[in-house]
């Protein structure tokens, strides 16, 4: 516990120095900020190396809500704490840090070679297309597609090995859901003065201004985040025994349900409608509650529409908005035309915006898009950029990783997580056909798949058996 106590003291000291420096201003500020940054960095390294990795990954999950928006909070993008926590957690588990020495080592799987091949292929594609030096394209390789999500999946069976560690994840999702749901409510109903961070209310920052968009400053990812937190709240309701805790989980579930409606985003609405149905059908004892749950959901939405007329009008407007539908049809057509032109290798990673204007096709029934956009269907985007080879590698990794977790013959303790993965996977699949998922949705998908494997493998070997086996081998050699 001494390293963790030292980490807490260093972190608290660094935060105090930073706050005092920011309040004082002047020449002292730069030196104080450097000192505070060093203290916080050392504290973070000690925490990652010595704390239970479940805490590390849950902390990274909470902080990933601000991914891409750290500069608006005064933190340079290259110092984004969520990314460094994720990387540090992966390294700590893989290197068998003190916090992980009593856990089974990471077992090699064919899947990991497929993941590595996908990452290498994307990197080569980006290098050949000249986009490897583009910050956005590079970070998508790290955060949104491969390195970080794949790494989290690989180490999750060790990080979330026990029921207690998976319980930490449930608590993190409920806490995060409370923040998301309350933020969505305050954005929509008020008082807006309580919304934090303040950039959420800035109409000139991010996209989807006027909708509930949360710390992501983007409604689709925010809605997807509230959906996974709602799943966490359902798991809490099914597993927690305290009445007060269960009431808190029910409140979070209600807030997240309303928040999804407040995003006024059709793809999220559809995904959030399909996901719970899949979840309840996957859990035998919940199947009889499908119709009552649907009725309760419809009642909540109706009450919200009556209580907030502006949202009802906005939702009706979005439901009947044809322009976005036409834009997606045009973009999908351009992506298919690009795939037809270069079916095997594609045009190169993240080149769609620059190369697509030559591949749009006039349609007599609707106009072309006004300006350049990314293709909203993630799979067609992969086909246009990476061709059949790269897309096949990504899809194969998903099938072998997420798909195998879904088809696993899981023991009872793993079935609830398997159902959660079914629900979230269905939502993710729906949303990814309309909007390209960012960091948070993809990270959660692979994290849940790894947690399913962790729950399935728990008890196959006692926690300390690996260390005992190593000690015995050393003694007899």
Residue 356 lies in a domain: no
Cα–Cα distance for residue pair 104/463, rounded to 1 Å: 7
Q: How many structural domains compose the chain?
A: 1
Q: What is the pLDDT of residues 380-395, one digit of tens each?
A: 999 999 999 999 999 9
Residue 290 lies in a domain: yes
Strand, coil or helix: 366: strand
How is 278-325 classified by DSSP, letter by letter?
HHHHHSGGGGGGHHHHHHHHHHHHHHHHHH-HHHHHHHHHHHT--HHH
Q: For the beta carbon of residue 242, count every other beta carbon within 10 angstroms.
A: 9
Residue 305 lies in a domain: yes
Quick one: pLDDT at residue 332? Answer: 86
Q: Using 50, 70 and 90 to split pLDDT, how confident is the model at 33? A: low
Considering the chain, what is the average pLDDT of its residues? 83
Average pLDDT of the residues in 354-372: 74
Quick one: pLDDT at residue 342? Answer: 94
Quick one: pLDDT at residue 28? Answer: 46
Residue 196 lies in a domain: yes
Residue 365 lies in a domain: no
Cα–Cα distance for residue pair 10/146, rounded to 1 Å: 33
Quick one: pLDDT at residue 121? Answer: 95
- 242: domain range? 51-322+376-465
With a cut of 70, say whether residue 38 has pLDDT above it: yes
Residue 138: Cβ-neighbour burial (10 angstroms; 0-12, 13-18, 19+): middle
Cα–Cα distance for residue pair 121/59, rounded to 1 Å: 31
Residue 476 lies in a domain: no
DSSP state at residue 363: B
Residue 307 lies in a domain: yes
Average pLDDT of the residues in 90-97: 89
Average pLDDT of the residues in 266-284: 82
With a cut of 60, say whether residue 175 has pLDDT above it: yes
Residue 361 lies in a domain: no
Average pLDDT of the residues in 247-275: 90
The predicted model scores a pTM of 0.86
């Amino acid at each position: 516990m001494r390293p963790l106590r030292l980490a807490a003291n260093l972190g608290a000291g660094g935060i105090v120095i930073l706050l005092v420096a920011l309040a004082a201003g002047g020449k002292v500020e730069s030196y104080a900020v450097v000192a505070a940054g060093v203290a916080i960095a050392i504290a973070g390294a000690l925490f990652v190396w010595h704390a239970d990795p479940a805490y590390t990954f849950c902390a990274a999950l909470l902080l990933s809500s601000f991914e891409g928006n750290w500069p608006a909070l005064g933190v340079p993008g290259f110092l984004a704490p969520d990314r460094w926590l994720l990387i540090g957690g992966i390294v700590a588990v893989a290197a068998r840090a003190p916090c992980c020495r009593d856990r089974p080592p990471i077992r090699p799987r064919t899947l990991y070679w497929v993941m590595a091949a996908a990452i290498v292929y994307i990197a080569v594609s980006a290098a050949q297309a000249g986009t490897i030096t583009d910050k956005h394209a590079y970070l998508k390789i790290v955060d949104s597609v491969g390195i970080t999500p794949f790494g989290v999946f690989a180490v999750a069976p060790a990080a979330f090995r026990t029921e207690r560690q998976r319980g930490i994840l449930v608590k993190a999702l409920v806490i995060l859901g409370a923040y998301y749901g309350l933020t969505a409510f305050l954005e929509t109903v008020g008082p807006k003065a309580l919304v934090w961070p303040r950039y959420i209310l800035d109409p000139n920052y991010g996209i989807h201004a006027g909708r509930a968009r949360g710390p992501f400053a983007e409604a689709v990812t925010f809605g997807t985040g509230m959906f996974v937190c709602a799943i966490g709240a359902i798991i809490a309701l099914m597993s927690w025994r305290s009445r007060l805790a269960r009431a808190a989980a029910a409140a979070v579930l209600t807030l997240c349900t309303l928040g999804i409606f407040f995003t006024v985003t059709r793809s999220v609405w559809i995904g959030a409608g399909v996901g719970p149905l899949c979840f309840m059908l996957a859990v035998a004892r919940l199947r009889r509650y499908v119709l009552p749950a649907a009725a309760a959901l419809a009642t909540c939405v109706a009450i919200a529409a009556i209580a907030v007329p502006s949202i009802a009008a906005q939702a009706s407007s979005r439901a009947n908005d044809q322009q976005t539908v036409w834009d997606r049809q045009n973009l999908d057509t351009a992506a298919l035309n690009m795939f037809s032109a270069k079916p095997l290798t594609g045009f190169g990673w993240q080149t769609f915006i620059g190369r697509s204007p030559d591949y749009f096709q006039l349609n007599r029934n609707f106009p072309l898009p006004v300006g350049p956009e990314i293709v909203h269907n993630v799979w067609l985007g992969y086909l246009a950029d990476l061709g059949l080879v790269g897309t096949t590698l990504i899809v194969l990794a998903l099938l072998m990783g997420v798909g195998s977790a879904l088809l696993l013959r899981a023991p009872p303790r793993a079935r609830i997580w398997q159902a959660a993965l079914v629900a979230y996977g269905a939502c993710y699949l729906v949303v990814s056909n309309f909007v390209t998922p960012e960091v948070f949705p993809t990270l959660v998908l692979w994290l849940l798949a790894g947690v399913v494997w962790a729950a399935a493998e728990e008890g196959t070997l006692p926690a300390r058996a690996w260390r005992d086996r190593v000690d015995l081998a050393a003694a007899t050699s």
